């Protein structure tokens, strides 16, 4: 597909990279030649310098006959104007990044008027992910499928765990929990395991199951922790606002530490249930005074990745049970695994994933199945995709053991009329099923692609 | 430096060269030239075996940066020229390895300077390979490899940038692979059209194809001793003139024509300058040589052919302009240095660089008049960034230094001033003929081995636009860290 991306910032370039590796024709517009030079050298895309919000520029980039226009500049207003122009010029679909909570709240109306296909709010999406983590703090990462009926959860196997040294087929026999291990990360190596795979202490594993089963599994492992009751947030940006809103709704006590007085006043006005502290969240005195040691969870959301990591590490040293740090710019994922911080979140990656999912769904709107959800795991090395099966095809109605399925690919779960099936060799896929596939190979656009 | 990836790319290139040589081998079978067939098969076997060996292990880390791109492009041209020379050597068609190397480098770099005084007696398959090297080198072998196989993840642009001529390299479509395919598609189509035109005019099929591939690469190797003059046919001369000019304009313009964006073609600044230069030079030379020819038409025909041949950096000839007045000769030498448009198969300094330099001069003058004025330089209606301007001046200065350096080295052979300097100019510009002892109807056979080496390196410097070759010789690149 032909996709034009306006804005070559963090989100823009992440989307460009992912979509271009998936084989789309990408044209990036930005007014900053330095940013463009970087993108042009590292990605197979065309870069155009100029204001993407003008008709001449959009025409030069071929917006009129493009399939999708994505506006991801730093200004919401520009993004909306850009999409409006693009739609008028003839782009089939338009996606705008909208971050301002006030604009985002009226998105439904705007979407219709502007002909927008989708509005992406990285901060709001990230807030939802953090809130999931805080509701179930035992997991390092939680991704929902089928509207939350099935979850994909990441956990680390501790030293001396009962799981260490156990082959996967023995898990059900031993504990009677219906879970499926669908990806294992050992050091830098990622495996889509088979039943004979033996777990080690220190492995990071991803499991899929219903929420109740997952809770049962965590209790058996002795990793279960109740949802958090008090949360401290460092940095009062947009993400903090969205997160506080979510947390207040589940009646957690929220404390936000923010340096800027004006912002504090705004937050205090918008979030009457939360405690807003006007102070430097990187000051240890402040942290101690506000009760860092007694809080259930700490979320660091300042604009500086380094501060977020350092404060997170400090909190871990002070035995805060759950620490989540925002990392938006730094790209050294490899070292994150060695740090003691429980979870990292990156709004730009979440936003990019949302858009990639939309693009894949768009692409196979004519196919026999539809991409419903898409998550990337383990530093984007593994992908978990949920398909909805629309009509009969070569994979429907045949026992799984008779299908020639690709290597490095696992059918993790079938959801049939709300019932969850962990598939075995005799199960079949039926029309109307939701199927979750985990793969470390090529990205999947259609369920048919699981076949060799 | 990612040595493994570099070896992998080189291996690919060697295999592709082997495959392309296969066409000549088939010719040898057709013409029943047993000795030549053996020479080709031996070289192909060497290329395939070594190529397979070098790409035996697919590198895990496929990441290459600008410097790897430059070095691997320069290396592959050296390697390609070496193996390309082997069929001449094995078959005994050309005496001595240095002569074979000179001839092949001259072929791949589309120079067309030869050390042979007698080509018509050469076996057909060898003659075809000699012309075909122009075609391979014209568009660039790496671009070809990029079109047919996936090489280095998203960073292949570094390879294309290093090989494609011109101050700014741009893609036609977002995917580099599709861009390479479109470029080669246009290239092949134009070559076939020219061959058909020549064949329709009565040229033998073999000669038509050989001259078409030679024109396409803007090379200049002919299968006749006296080049195009041998046919003594105004029709051939006009056809070849038109195609030489076509192959010397930016290929992006053909793409714009294909997608029916005629306005952009008409507005193209480089093309306008180029046509003005060609038109004006032709007029002046026609007037200058009018008294030497019986009719105005023949004076014009010879004039436009010679102008096209040197600006497009091809090097075919229909008239021995050694005997033309000094003004005409000087114009032709200046055009030799200028060369063709960026993004074409031609060589030289390139018209677009010339335009930038010209505007830079004007800016200096304006700057003296209004010291506080802010002057930006525009090309094709868009503001040029200082980096491109700096790159252009840097290129020009290096070009001149290289010219003087090579001139001094070549003058060791103790031939006259005009011979030495025009030999260097024509080698650097990838044109072919110079003046005096290397004039239009002469050849380079008399130079010493050392001078031939210098000139052949000049051709590589000229074809790859200097910097990739300089990188090859710079020690900082080869250090481990």
Could you tell me which residue, A66 or A158, shows the higher pLDDT? A66
For residue A100, give how far its alpha carbon lies from the nearest alpha carbon of chain B (Å).
Answer: 32
- Of the candidates A188, A189, A150, A184, which has an alpha carbon nearest to the alpha carbon of residue A167? A184
Interface check for B158 against chain A (CB to CB < 8 A): the answer is yes
Question: How many contacts, defined by CB atoms under 8 Å, are there between A and B?
Answer: 32
Interface touch B174/A27, C-beta < 8 Å:
yes
Interface touch B155/A40, C-beta < 8 Å:
no
Strand A434-439 and strand A382-389: the pairing is antiparallel
B157 contacts in chain A (CB < 8 Å): 40-41, 44
Nearest Cβ partner of B157 from A17, A27, A40?
A: A40
- DSSP assignment letter at B230: G
Each residue of B380-397: pLDDT tens digit?
Answer: 888 888 888 998 999 999
User: Is B73:B151 a contact under the CB 8 Å cutoff?
Assistant: no
Q: Tell if the pTM clears 0.80, that is, is over it.
A: yes
For residue A333, give how far its alpha carbon lies from the nearest alpha carbon of chain B (Å).
Answer: 18
Q: What are the structural domains, with CATH classification, of chain A?
A: 2-120 (3.40.50.720), 138-221 (3.30.70.1450), 230-320 (3.40.50.720), 366-450 (3.30.70.1450)
- Of the candidates A286, A216, A230, A221, which has an alpha carbon nearest to the alpha carbon of residue A258? A286
Residues 43-72 of A with CB under 8 A from B: 43-46
B429 three-class SS: coil
Both tokens of residue B38?
Answer: 């053996």
- DSSP assignment letter at A408: T
Residue A394 binned pLDDT confidence (cut-offs 50, 70, 90): confident
Interface test with A, best of B146, B157, B171, B174 (most A CBs within 10 A): B174
Give dist(CA A218, CA B78) in Å, integer.
Answer: 63
User: Is B79:B13 a contact under the CB 8 Å cutoff?
Assistant: yes
Average pLDDT, chain B: 90
Give dist(CA A125, CA B264) in Å, integer.
Answer: 44
Q: What is the pLDDT of residue B102?
A: 95
Q: What is the pLDDT of residue B193?
A: 96
For residue B472, give how far its alpha carbon lies from the nearest alpha carbon of chain A (Å).
Answer: 21
Interface touch B173/A25, C-beta < 8 Å:
yes
- ipTM score for this prediction: 0.77
Each residue of B164-184: pLDDT tens digit?
Answer: 777 777 788 888 888 888 999
Interface check for A26 against chain B (CB to CB < 8 A): the answer is yes
Lowest-pLDDT range of A129-133, A164-168, B24-28: A164-168
Interface touch A20/B173, C-beta < 8 Å:
no
For residue A360, give how far its alpha carbon lies from the nearest alpha carbon of chain B (Å).
Answer: 19
Strand A434-439 and strand A409-416: the pairing is antiparallel
Lowest-pLDDT range of A374-388, B171-185, B240-254: A374-388
Residue B426 binned pLDDT confidence (cut-offs 50, 70, 90): very high
Interface touch A20/B157, C-beta < 8 Å:
no
Nearest Cβ partner of B171 from A17, A33, A46?
A: A46
Nearest Cβ partner of B154 from A25, A27, A43?
A: A43
- Of the candidates B6, B222, B247, B231, which has an alpha carbon nearest to the alpha carbon of residue B127? B222
Interface check for A39 against chain B (CB to CB < 8 A): the answer is no
Chain B residue with CA closest to A44: the answer is B154
Interface touch B176/A42, C-beta < 8 Å:
no
């Amino acid at each position: 597909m032909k996709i034009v991306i306006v804005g070559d910032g963090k989100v823009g370039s992440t989307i460009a990279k992912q979509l271009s590796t998936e084989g789309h024709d990408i044209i990036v517009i930005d007014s900053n030649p330095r940013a463009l030079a970087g993108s042009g050298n590292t990605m197979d895309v065309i870069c155009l310098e100029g204001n993407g919000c003008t008709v001449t520029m959009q025409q030069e980039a071929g917006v009129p006959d493009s399939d999708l226009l994505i506006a991801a500049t730093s200004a919401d207003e520009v993004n909306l104007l850009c999409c409006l122009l693009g739609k008028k010029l003839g782009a089939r679909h338009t996606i705008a990044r909208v971050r301002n909570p006030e604009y985002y709240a009226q998105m439904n109306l705007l979407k219709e008027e502007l002909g927008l296909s989708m509005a992406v709010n990285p901060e709001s999406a990230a807030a939802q992910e953090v809130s999931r983590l805080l509701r179930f703090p035992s997991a390092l990462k939680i991704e929902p499928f089928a509207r939350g009926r099935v979850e994909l959860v990441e956990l680390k196997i501790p030293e001396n765990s009962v799981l260490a040294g156990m082959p996967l087929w023995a898990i059900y026999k031993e504990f009677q929990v219906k879970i499926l291990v669908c990806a294992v990360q050992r050091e830098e190596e990622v495996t889509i395991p088979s039943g004979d795979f033996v777990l080690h202490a220190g492995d990071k594993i991803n499991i899929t199951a219903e929420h109740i089963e997952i809770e049962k599994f965590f209790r058996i492992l002795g990793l279960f922790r109740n949802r958090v009751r008090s949360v401290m947030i460092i940095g009062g940006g947009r993400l903090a606002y969205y997160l506080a809103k979510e947390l207040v709704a589940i009646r957690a006590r929220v404390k936000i530490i923010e340096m800027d007085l004006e912002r504090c006043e705004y937050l205090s006005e918008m979030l009457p249930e939360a405690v807003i502290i006007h102070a430097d969240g990187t000051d240890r005195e402040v942290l101690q005074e506000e009760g860092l040691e007694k809080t259930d969870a700490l979320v660091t959301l300042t604009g500086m990745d380094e501060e977020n990591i350092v404060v997170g590490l400090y909190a871990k040293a002070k035995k805060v049970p759950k620490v989540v740090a925002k990392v938006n710019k730094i790209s050294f994922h490899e070292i994150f695994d060695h740090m003691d911080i429980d979870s990292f979140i990156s709004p730009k990656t979440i936003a990019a994933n949302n858009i990639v999912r939309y693009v894949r769904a768009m692409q196979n709107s004519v196919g026999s199945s539809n991409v419903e959800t898409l998550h990337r795991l383990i530093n984007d090395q593994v992908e978990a995709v949920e398909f909805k099966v629309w009509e009969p095809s070569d994979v429907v109605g045949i026992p799984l053991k008779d299908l020639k399925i690709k290597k490095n690919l696992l059918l993790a779960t079938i959801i049939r009329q709300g019932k969850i099936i962990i598939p075995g060799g005799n199960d079949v896929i039926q029309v109307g099923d939701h199927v979750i596939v985990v793969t470390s190979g090529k990205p999947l656009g259609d369920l048919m692609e699981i076949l060799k | 430096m990612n040595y493994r990836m570099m070896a992998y790319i080189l291996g690919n290139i060697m295999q592709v060269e082997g495959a392309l040589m296969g066409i000549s081998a088939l010719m040898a079978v057709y013409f029943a030239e047993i000795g030549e067939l053996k020479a080709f098969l031996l070289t192909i076997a060497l290329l395939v075996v070594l190529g397979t060996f070098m790409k035996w292990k697919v590198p895990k880390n496929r990441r290459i940066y600008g410097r790897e791109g430059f070095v691997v492009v320069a290396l592959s041209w050296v390697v390609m020229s070496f193996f390309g020379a082997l069929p001449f050597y094995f078959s005994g068609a050309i005496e001595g390895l240095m002569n074979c190397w000179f001839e092949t480098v001259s072929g791949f770099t589309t120079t067309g300077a030869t050390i042979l005084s007698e080509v018509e007696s050469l076996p057909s398959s060898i003659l075809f390979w000699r012309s075909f090297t122009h075609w391979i080198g014209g568009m660039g072998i790496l671009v070809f490899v990029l079109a047919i196989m996936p090489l280095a993840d998203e960073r292949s642009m570094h390879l294309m940038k290093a090989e494609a001529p011109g101050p700014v390299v741009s893609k036609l479509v977002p995917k580099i692979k599709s861009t390479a395919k479109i470029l080669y598609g246009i290239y092949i189509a134009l070559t076939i059209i020219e061959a058909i035109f020549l064949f329709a005019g009565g040229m033998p099929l073999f000669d038509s194809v050989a001259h078409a591939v030679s024109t396409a690469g803007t090379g200049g190797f002919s299968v006749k001793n006296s080049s195009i003059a041998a046919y003594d046919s105004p029709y051939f001369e006009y056809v070849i003139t038109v195609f030489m000019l076509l192959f010397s304009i930016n290929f992006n313009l053909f793409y714009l024509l294909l997608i029916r964006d005629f306005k952009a073609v008409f507005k193209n600044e480089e093309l306008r300058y180029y046509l003005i230069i060609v038109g004006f030079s032709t007029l002046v030379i026609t007037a200058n040589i009018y008294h030497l020819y019986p009719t105005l038409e023949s004076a014009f025909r010879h004039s436009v052919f010679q102008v096209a041949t040197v600006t497009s950096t091809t090097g075919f000839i229909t008239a021995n302009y050694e005997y033309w007045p000094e003004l005409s000769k000087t114009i032709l030498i200046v055009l030799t240095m200028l060369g063709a448009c960026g993004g074409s198969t031609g060589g030289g300094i390139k018209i677009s660089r010339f335009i930038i330099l010209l505007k830079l001069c004007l800016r200096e003058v304006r700057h003296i008049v209004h010291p506080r004025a802010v002057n930006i330089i525009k090309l094709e209606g868009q503001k040029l960034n200082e980096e491109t301007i700096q790159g252009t001046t840097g290129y020009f200065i290096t070009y001149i230094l290289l010219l003087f350096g090579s001139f001094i080295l070549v003058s060791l052979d103790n031939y006259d001033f005009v011979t030495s300097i025009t030999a260097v100019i024509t080698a650097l510009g990838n044109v072919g003929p110079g003046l005096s002892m290397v004039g239009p109807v002469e050849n380079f056979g008399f130079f010493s081995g050392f001078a031939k080496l210098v000139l052949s390196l000049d051709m590589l410097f000229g074809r790859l636009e200097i910097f990739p070759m300089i990188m090859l010789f710079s020690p900082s690149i080869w250090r481990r860290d």
